[in-house]
Structure 1
Amino acid sequence: MKQSFFIALAVLLFNTVNAQKLKSPNQKLQMEFSLQNDGTPSYSLNYKDKVVIKPSKLGLYLKNDAKYLVNDFTIIDTKMTAFDETWKPVWGEVASIRNNYNELAVTLNQKGTDRQIIIRFRLFNDGLGFRYEFPSQKNLVYFTIKEERTQFAMTGNHTVFWIPGDYDTQEYDYTSSRLSEIRNLNEKSRTENVSQTAFSPTGVQTSLMMKTDEGLYINLHEAALINYACMHLNLDDKNMIFESWLTPNTNGDKGNMQAPCQSPWRTIIVSDDAREILASKMTLNLNEPCKIEDTSWIKPVKYVGVWWEMITGKSSWSFTNEFPAVQLGVTDFAKAKPNGTHGATTANVKKYIDFAAENGFGAVLVEGWNEGWEDWFGHSKDYVFDFVTPYPDFDVKGIHEYAKSKDIKMIMHHETSGAIRNYERHIDKAYQFMKDNGYDAVKSGYVGNIVPQGDNHYSQWTVNHYQYAIEKAAEYKIMVNAHEAVRPTGICRTYPNLIGNEAARGTEYQAFGGSKPNHVTVLPFTRLIGGPMDYTPGIFEMDISKINPNNHSHVNSTLANQLALYVTMYSPLQMAADLPENYNRFADAFQFIKDVAIDWEDSKYLEAEPGQYVTVARKAKGTNNWFIGNVNGYKARASNIKFDFLEKGKKYEATIYADAKDAKDANYKTNPQAYTIRKITVNNKSTLSQVSVSGGGYAISIIERK
């Protein structure tokens, strides 16, 4: 049962310029708000008496306005409140979440314009969130944001884990460097993508992870991105100050606003223990409570699908090679010659359904089932797909009946190719078609440039489209797994039918040339801060040429590392991405994927260092069973953990799936499939020392003995 209380102190603080201080409930964090001599609002943040953020300016620049909202302010009101509640997520890493903060709301009035803004600060035990609020008023009604001036002034030349600032993609490998090195490394860090728009040599994306030389871990991000442009960060590398940089629309504007309204929360998570960054629920807590009354239809699921064979080039999304171009409703696919490589055939999909049913999976994803793939990309084409017309070799009704007979759900794929206006035209019909044919979840895609031309993937208008699709899906009781959409900011608390996102460099890039071996040791500190990722793990065949002789990519991971991802890369939507035949080859290792849970009662972060290693233990909801995952970066190491999270007085059987004992045996480059499986008995006093090789790791299932 949800229990909460709200203590409204409503205390009017002194109106002196430097007296607005706020402490976290545990007193470890302290925020100070002040007005500079020219009426510029600023804030600073300390953790355990160490400076985290030096005095940093706040405000907004407005378009076609002679007076920006950046200075000449006076404080006309301050209110301090405290809040403490416990709420239960529909799905998650834990069964309940505490939302506990102290709040300071500062109302400012601008001299000469009589315009008011409220800057609201919420200080949690794990960090600070703040936002701009624009109350209803006669002197600020409709306004256009030219840029937001939100600063994060660093205390030094920190180590930072970053990807280049880009209005259209987050699909980059992470670079680790000093802040001062971003400028020289930015261009080198920009690998090719089908849609990308850089804006600055020192621009980076959130969630941004840093570590100071004094051992503080700092994460910068945003929460509750609603009706606003996505925020990037631009670094003044002379003064080591990050400043917000919003994504523009087609004419360069960065937000069309109507009061009353508000910005997303700007977030700073901080700790001297990297594990606490991973465990933080502040991003979720800054979002609104769930708005879906009946959530019984939202169910975590493990799935397989017709996907990896297309990603590797073994199969194709398109049905035929006969047409140089197609027009829906005009092109007659029934008269076309099949290309012989189409993946989404009725017969092939039935094989995946059989495999799912035989191995305890809940769903099957099918891509390339619908007409239009022959010329879907690169033409800024508006009417690309109608999302209801299947190719001649895909029997929608027959597949529905066959999957139902096997108790398997189907996941439909909606690729928009960036033509979001077209998707909105068809979305009601498409969602109803899904429900009529037994599809309870959709994987949506936004590959390529946004149509209309000139807009970006992360502008206010496009962000509003993603939100529209989520809310519309909720009306039809459909779960959404959005790919190439804006990176998540905790909105899954409000709309838990948003069961997954991509919004980062996923497993598919392992078939496009590979990702860095330590990529998965960075993602939990960056991309996953905002919500779960559909990373599509579980690749067992690392040599892609064995699937497609024309593809010489290599998966930079050991098999044991791939198993561990089901625990370290949290998601209520987990794919076993490889081909069924590869799982049959390694049936003993595949057992872990079959056994591992996807919804959790509790989670313990046992070891963590960004870019180096992550070790997580999670308790399966409704059981006394635990699962552990460890992923390792470049340097081989011994992972040392305790099992003190287990229930006292109980004995458990632990099955350990690990890299082969010696580093010379297991290696992500030369021998990635070298693994061992052993069973031991453990209790809450047990310990384990386990070697993880470069790009390796281990996975453990811990089952209570009856």
Structure 2
Amino acid sequence: MIRGLVAALLATVATPALAEDVTSPDGRIVATLDVDNDGVPYYRVMRDGAEVIAESDLGFTFTDAETMRRNFVIENAVTATHDDTWEQPWGERRFVRDRHNELAVTFRETRDTSKRALTVRMRVFDDGIGFRYEFAESADMPVANIAEELTEFAIAGDGTAWWIPGGDWNRYEYLYNETPITGVSIAHTPMTVRLDNGTHLSFHEAALVDYSGMWLRRMDGRRFRAMLAPSSRGAKVVREGAFETPWRTIRIADGPDGLVESNLELNLNEPNKLGDVSYFEPAKYIGIWWGMIRGDWSWAQGPKHGATTERAKEYVDFAAENGFRGVLIEGWNYGWDGNWFGNGRDYSYTRSYPDFDLEEVAEYARGKGVRIIGHHETGGNIQVYEAQLEDALDLYQRLGVDVIKTGYVADAGGIISCNADIADPCEGEVYEWHDGQRQVQHHLKVVQAAAERQIAINPHEPVKDTGLRRTYPNWVAREGARGQEYNAWGRFANGPEHDPTLVYTRMLSGPMDYTPGVLGLVGAEGVPIASTKAKQLGLYLAIYSPIQMAADFKESLAEHPRELDFIRQVPADWAESHLIAGAVGDYAIFARKDRNSEDWYVGGVNDATERTVTLDFDFLEDGQTYAATIYKDGPEATYLTDKRHDIAYETLSVAKGDRYTVRLAPGGGMAMQLKRR
């Protein structure tokens, strides 16, 4: 459903070398595009009359052409306005308003040896900016072999940054650093910044298609420069003819709520290209997974093999009895024996291990009204996966498997691809980065092939989310951060501050398959998890995904019937979502409205600091009362002791204007169901 008004384009011609400005619809943000005295293109961002992004250079270097940096003038400028509202088929909110003003400036070189042109398109929203480069088809440069972008982000004030290292072996799976801005080295995006004046910023990108992912490298002081993920070819990006880069984005907000509730990257992506995607149903699932993560079972064949026909049927039975739509089954196929990490040469995506009958399990699940969630681990070997992709997807389509979790377990530069210099079929291997151009191309290929068969994709060890779920709504979630699995591998391996930090960093890019619901709070060999029981429920509100797992063993879930009841009922699809209390890295409490009823859910997560929070119910409908069922940390709850299971329950009646005060334990959280009477 599309509503609203799209204004007509207003074309203007600029005088060469004069600055061009574009202002946000509310008038608070002003972005400038200009050239300096050396003809270097740059941009600058002001908010409420104060500089937020100081003069920041724009440009490119190439492997086989002169640098695009100096000797430019402004050739022309075109402006536009836009205001409409579009509907998400699923998401944190049903309707998204896209209101922005746009400026497209074409810079032209003045040297006798080169007259190349470069267009920078800047869109300014009330909640930030996005800009991209546009290259026209050119006989002088029919192929662009990009060595690096020279895009800068010069942060104008001091502040604190939350970031993870870019270009390191473990992809995005790190605990977040909290440092002064000047303490950042090379960072993945999103990178979140809180300036000393309270302004909140997030640096990221949108619509990452056929291009390398962008890291941020601090040059000096508070000045950062784009750094593209490497490629085996030398050139980090190779593009033919006319093309556009991804959008470089900066969310700008007064506080954490504005940062979290922004739709900036979604609005910078193209509309849905797939049409009707009602075949995807947001839902919750369980799976044969936690036992492998903890080491109780194995993915490989042998006496500990997890994915047996018998165990799969038991999990299907539990799902059917408790209202879970899906059952994830990992380790069912050949290829897991031996060293598959960063290898993947032996995987078959159509051949089951002898003790697992895929056809039988799929038929059994259908009879119970349950869907199997498929699994394709590649070990980072996209050459092997792409060779089998069509057959693998056809098999799942025939069996009614309509969601697939893919995996790319390999070190950052360990993606195995075809040697582009060898004619097909590929006879050689090269190694690519997880977020390089080749892997970006691969992920979209999988998503598009799955869409043809009405299958949704949830990649782990992925390329980061950049809002492409708007264009390809079967791209429903991904991992792309340090998930719940780390809790199984060491005492407090994910510290209590990790979850509330994710809300303001990783989650700004899109849905995450974090795998909450480990109610037993125990990892491998009995190691405790840095969480209370109430926090495991709060994760369903804090870490959004349209597919939410109850990750624990089915026996453990059954041992906590009241908590299991909440997990059964909490939706995975929302009409509205609001951050009603929180601070970056400290805590986060959301209010979310069910898309399919008038009910609301409130909940979230806390760090290691005990705190008391007062919640306002101003989001509720006027004149209505709601029956509240509350799950909260008990009086002795703390992640530090065996009291982490201490949980309290409460019921009361609430209405708009009421307030509720709740204790959040160290490593704690809370959840609340509000049913309209």
TM-score relative to the length of structure 1:
0.91
Q: Shift of the alpha carbon at 1:658?
A: 0.4
Structure-2 residue corresponding to 1:277: 259
Q: Which amino acid aligns with 2:512?
A: M
Structure-2 residue corresponding to 1:173: 175
Structure-2 residue corresponding to 1:498: 475
Structure-2 residue corresponding to 1:537: 516
Taking the aligned partners of 2:342 and 2:76, their CA distance within structure 1 comes to 54
Q: Shift of the alpha carbon at 1:354?
A: 0.8
Decide whether the 8 Å contact of 2:77 with 2:106 is kept in 1.
Answer: yes
Distance 1:379 1:97, change over 3 A: closer
Q: Which amino acid aligns with 1:215?
A: G
> Unaligned regions of 5+ residues in structure 1, if any?
183-201, 320-338, 546-550
Is 1:676 the counterpart of 2:648 in the alignment? yes
1:296-327, Cα deviation, whole Å (9 max, x unpaired): 212112100000010001100011xxxxxxxx
1:595-614, Cα deviation, whole Å (9 max, x unpaired): 10111111121012110111
Decide whether the 8 Å contact of 2:62 with 2:235 is kept in 1.
Answer: no
- Cα-Cα RMSD: 1.4
Q: Shift of the alpha carbon at 1:18?
A: 4.3
Taking the aligned partners of 1:589 and 1:633, their CA distance within structure 2 comes to 21
- 1:64-83 to structure 2, matched below 5 A, reads 64-65=64-65, 67-83=66-82
Decide whether the 8 Å contact of 2:209 with 2:246 is kept in 1.
Answer: yes
Q: Which amino acid aligns with 1:106?
A: V
Structure-2 residue corresponding to 1:405: 367
Structure-1 residue corresponding to 2:425: none
Decide whether the 8 Å contact of 1:556 with 1:669 is kept in 2.
Answer: no
Give the counterpart of 1:583 among 541, 544, 557: 557
Is 1:622 the counterpart of 2:599 in the alignment? no
Taking the aligned partners of 1:612 and 1:379, their CA distance within structure 2 comes to 35
Decide whether the 8 Å contact of 1:224 with 1:489 is kept in 2.
Answer: yes
Which secondary structure does the structure 2 equivalent of 1:493 belong to? Answer: coil
Stretch moving more, 246-255 or 78-87: 246-255
Which secondary structure does the structure 1 equivalent of 2:314 belong to? Answer: helix
Structure-1 residue corresponding to 2:305: 342
Taking the aligned partners of 1:461 and 1:301, their CA distance within structure 2 comes to 32
Q: Shift of the alpha carbon at 1:537?
A: 0.5
Structure-1 residue corresponding to 2:615: 641
Distance 1:665 1:616, change over 3 A: closer
Taking the aligned partners of 2:19 and 2:226, their CA distance within structure 1 comes to 26
Q: Shift of the alpha carbon at 1:156?
A: 3.2
Taking the aligned partners of 2:458 and 2:36, their CA distance within structure 1 comes to 45
Distance 1:22 1:297, change over 3 A: same
Give the counterpart of 1:232 among 205, 215, 228: 215
Q: Shift of the alpha carbon at 1:239?
A: 2.7
Which secondary structure does the structure 2 equivalent of 1:74 belong to? Answer: strand
Which secondary structure does the structure 2 equivalent of 1:374 belong to? Answer: coil
Decide whether the 8 Å contact of 2:182 with 2:221 is kept in 1.
Answer: no
- 1:383-402 to structure 2, matched below 5 A, reads 383-402=345-364
TM-score relative to the length of structure 2:
0.95
Q: Shift of the alpha carbon at 1:669?
A: 4.3
Q: Shift of the alpha carbon at 1:358?
A: 0.7
Structure-2 residue corresponding to 1:351: 314
Q: Shift of the alpha carbon at 1:379?
A: 6.6
Taking the aligned partners of 2:261 and 2:666, their CA distance within structure 1 comes to 25
Q: Shift of the alpha carbon at 1:250?
A: 1.2
- 1:289-304 to structure 2, matched below 5 A, reads 289-304=271-286
Structure-1 residue corresponding to 2:415: 450
Taking the aligned partners of 1:554 and 1:39, their CA distance within structure 2 comes to 59
Taking the aligned partners of 2:145 and 2:268, their CA distance within structure 1 comes to 25
Q: Which amino acid aligns with 2:489?
A: F
Decide whether the 8 Å contact of 1:627 with 1:701 is kept in 2.
Answer: yes
Aligned length: 657
> Unaligned regions of 5+ residues in structure 2, if any?
417-428
1:317-340, Cα deviation, whole Å (9 max, x unpaired): 011xxxxxxxxxxxxxxxxxxx22
- 1:590-609 to structure 2, matched below 5 A, reads 590-609=564-583
1:416-467, Cα deviation, whole Å (9 max, x unpaired): 1111011111000000000111211110000012113431111101110011
Decide whether the 8 Å contact of 2:283 with 2:571 is kept in 1.
Answer: no
Distance 1:572 1:415, change over 3 A: same
Taking the aligned partners of 1:579 and 1:552, their CA distance within structure 2 comes to 14
Q: Shift of the alpha carbon at 1:685?
A: 2.2
Q: Shift of the alpha carbon at 1:378?
A: 4.2
1:110-130, Cα deviation, whole Å (9 max, x unpaired): 123111111000000100000
- 1:645-664 to structure 2, matched below 5 A, reads 645-661=619-635, 664=636
Give the counterpart of 2:386 among 421, 424, 436: 424
Structure-2 residue corresponding to 1:51: 51
Taking the aligned partners of 2:7 and 2:382, their CA distance within structure 1 comes to 44
Which secondary structure does the structure 1 equivalent of 2:89 belong to? Answer: coil
Structure-1 residue corresponding to 2:32: 32
Identity of aligned residues (%): 37
Is 1:158 the counterpart of 2:135 in the alignment? no
Q: Shift of the alpha carbon at 1:151?
A: 0.4
Q: Shift of the alpha carbon at 1:387?
A: 0.2
Structure-1 residue corresponding to 2:548: 574
Is 1:365 the counterpart of 2:332 in the alignment? no
